[in-house]
Chain A
């Protein structure tokens, strides 16, 4: 999903990209808690009766469930912020706060939407400056990626 933030004090144009997600972090925790409660409610009576070998398997399973949900939630909370200023393009990646940042020179920047030679794979949106290439919007759907490429091109063509 793309949120076009328009102008800010620092950026002429700012795009915030994030993957689609239908479960908030709080809901993720609640779903995981429900798994824990249900599983332990089934398993603990058996453990109390002496069949304790069920417990390590339940623990392992809940660990797998928790890890799976955490990884998905982590991915779903990814953000990419593309800030186009007068002379630079700053690309920030992170979740709650920027964790990676890269600044490119705006003057020589080119936006390339590269189709995969085999049609069943998605295209790649690249920003190229002096042989350096940065991919953005990997988690967007095809239409959004195309739209973003057009918007970036339009913004870069406007004189600072």
Chain B
């Protein structure tokens, strides 16, 4: 036992406690709201960077032949678009939402590990600067697809080690974010908030964080083995040296499929918060939602090979992965049923967050159904590597994950900023987005069924019309996102004052706080009924 040294009061001890002025506030901040804001703004920026790449792809595919970019650059765009959207836009957006909302929802003053929180964010801009700068290296950026399959990816030029380092940095950031979220949820809940009283968004993030922590070392190991294969003479994935390139696909998808759920489970949480508010009814089947989320997370570990039915697996393997994949439809169906049942006979109103949430339910279900089609192994041999797959995962990720993020932004923006957003502009944004996204991706189903391969800059003439329609949809969707950015910026700058409750039917601890909430969240210890 030592003796504590008293602090000497020089009359200015408050100086260490004021927020840092100007830019240094954002660089050195350990406050969950500041870091949440940084994550969300970063993801919005990356959404536009990745979106610009998507528009390059769609502009090139407007008509057959090579018009705008050369095939190598086209391949760089497809690869970078995926990496930027997955690791730079969708995942950071959900981490940003978690940062802003989880402490407020569970009654905690901040995240459990605030300094690590700062670090996990500030790794991201460096990782993406590194990744994007590879476009300017000799040989260009990575062009072998975001899945980084060897031996193709080993043909990457000088960019290769930088890409691997960038992936490691993104992984480290994700792991730190996940550790912080788990530690916060488990350690800092308000005294009466038991696990089964937690809001669904918190539950889905808890399970997502478990998934992240489980699979990230697999990705880190896999990309490091690519690096050693290229530069240090190992043969993990080199058949000439006794390795197995197909094994990379197994390892990658062992990470990659849970990654898909990492991007969609928090979306389920967001929608499960929004629908009860605007239906003015409690969420139907709360407990079943929690168990369904956990079931989906468990199943995500045993379905990875449905991404590679055509590599030559034993029949028993194909059957196992086919049935296991189909099983996911059961808990997912429970969720869709519960959302619809929540709306059933509710006093519904259709503000922008609700519109996005309803669009999520409908369009994500379309993506789920095409996923079921792809799960059928013999049918998958026809769909493999066609635009049908592109249509499927974009239906899950864009009107799925991205729409839920937009719904969340509109739903909680008045709470975060203290100002109401422009509802009319929000409605315009929604309708242009929902029309744009369907015009963009629905024709791709037909292209895929007709046999158009994915990841090609040129195509046969019979695919022209659907590609033109798809490109028109892409530009409608892409440009309509400028409305979203404008609306967000205007809301941050000012607007009608939001009440503390904001939405009539909103329930939860975050709505008991002022709008905007105090810098340190709970001034009084919250009680959960």
Contact A64 B176 (CB under 8 A): yes
Contact B8 A99 (CB under 8 A): no
Known: A57-B221, A114-B14, A133-B13. A68 touches B187 (CB 8 A): no
Q: Does A135 contact B (CB under 8 A)?
A: yes
Instruction: Give complex CA distance A23, B185 in Å.
Output: 9
Contact A71 B225 (CB under 8 A): no
Among all A-B residue pairs, the 5 with the closest Cβ atoms = A120-B519, A54-B221, A133-B9, A142-B523, A58-B217
**What distance in Å separates the Cβ of A149 from its nearest Cβ neighbour in chain B?**
14
Q: Does A160 contact B (CB under 8 A)?
A: no
Within 8 Å by CB of B189, from A22, A50, A94, lies: A22
Q: Does B379 contact A (CB under 8 A)?
A: no
Of the candidate stretches A7-15, A123-131, A150-158, the one touching chain B is: A123-131
Of the candidate stretches B45-53, B69-77, B108-116, the one touching chain A is: B108-116
**What distance in Å separates the Cβ of A138 from its nearest Cβ neighbour in chain B?**
11
**What distance in Å separates the Cβ of A155 from its nearest Cβ neighbour in chain B?**
20
Contact B524 A142 (CB under 8 A): yes
**What distance in Å separates the Cβ of B195 from its nearest Cβ neighbour in chain A?**
9
Contact B188 A71 (CB under 8 A): no
Contact B1 A100 (CB under 8 A): yes
Q: Which of A53-105 contact B (CB under 8 A)?
A: 53-58, 60-61, 64-65, 68-69, 71-73, 76, 91, 93-94, 97-102, 104
Instruction: Give complex CA distance A43, B251 in Å.
Output: 10
**Closest residue of chain B to A38, judged by CB?**
B214
Contact B225 A53 (CB under 8 A): yes
Within 8 Å by CB of B2, from A56, A99, A132, A135, lies: A99
A-B contacts, 25 of them at CB < 8 A, read A22-B189, A22-B190, A22-B193, A31-B186, A42-B214, A50-B236, A53-B225, A57-B217, A57-B220, A68-B116, A68-B179, A69-B183, A76-B187, A97-B1, A100-B2, A100-B3, A101-B1, A114-B13, A116-B17, A120-B19, A124-B14, A124-B17, A133-B7, A133-B13, A141-B109
The residue in A57, A99, A100 that gathers the most chain B C-beta atoms within 10 A of its C-beta is: A57
Known: A72-B187, A144-B525. A51 touches B3 (CB 8 A): no
**What distance in Å separates the Cβ of B33 from its nearest Cβ neighbour in chain A?**
9
**What distance in Å separates the Cβ of A87 from its nearest Cβ neighbour in chain B?**
18
Q: Does A159 contact B (CB under 8 A)?
A: no
Complex interface: chain A residues within 8 A of B57 (CB): none
Q: Does A134 contact B (CB under 8 A)?
A: yes
**What distance in Å separates the Cβ of A24 from its nearest Cβ neighbour in chain B?**
10
Q: Does B224 contact A (CB under 8 A)?
A: yes
Q: Does A107 contact B (CB under 8 A)?
A: no
Q: Does B18 contact A (CB under 8 A)?
A: yes
Complex interface: chain A residues within 8 A of B218 (CB): 42-43, 46, 54
Complex interface: chain B residues within 8 A of A46 (CB): 218, 221, 251, 254
Q: How many A-B residue pairs have CB under 8 A?
A: 169
Q: Does B180 contact A (CB under 8 A)?
A: yes
Contact A121 B19 (CB under 8 A): yes
Q: Does A108 contact B (CB under 8 A)?
A: no
Contact B213 A35 (CB under 8 A): yes
Complex interface: chain B residues within 8 A of A55 (CB): 221
Instruction: Give complex CA distance A57, B215 in Å.
Output: 11
Q: Which of B215-248 contact A (CB under 8 A)?
A: 215-218, 220-222, 224-225, 228, 236, 247
Contact A43 B3 (CB under 8 A): no
Complex interface: chain B residues within 8 A of A39 (CB): 213-214, 217
**Closest residue of chain A to B108, judged by CB?**
A20
Contact A57 B224 (CB under 8 A): yes
Q: Does B424 contact A (CB under 8 A)?
A: no
Contact A134 B4 (CB under 8 A): yes
Complex interface: chain B residues within 8 A of A69 (CB): 179, 183
Instruction: Give complex CA distance A20, B190 in Å.
Output: 7
Contact B17 A143 (CB under 8 A): no
Complex interface: chain A residues within 8 A of B254 (CB): 42, 46
Contact A98 B1 (CB under 8 A): yes
Instruction: Give complex CA distance A114, B1 in Å.
Output: 29
Known: A39-B213, A46-B251, A121-B519. A93 touches B4 (CB 8 A): yes
**What distance in Å separates the Cβ of A33 from its nearest Cβ neighbour in chain B?**
13
Instruction: Give complex CA distance A141, B523 in Å.
Output: 6
Contact A61 B13 (CB under 8 A): no
Q: Does A26 contact B (CB under 8 A)?
A: no
Instruction: Give complex CA distance A101, B251 in Å.
Output: 54
Q: Which of B83-126 contact A (CB under 8 A)?
A: 108-109, 112-113, 116
Within 8 Å by CB of A51, from B175, B190, B251, lies: B251
**What distance in Å separates the Cβ of B8 from its nearest Cβ neighbour in chain A?**
7
Complex interface: chain A residues within 8 A of B26 (CB): none
Known: A54-B218, A133-B13. A101 touches B4 (CB 8 A): yes
0/1 interface trace, chain B 186-211, chain A, CB 8 Å (1 if under): 11111101000000000000000010
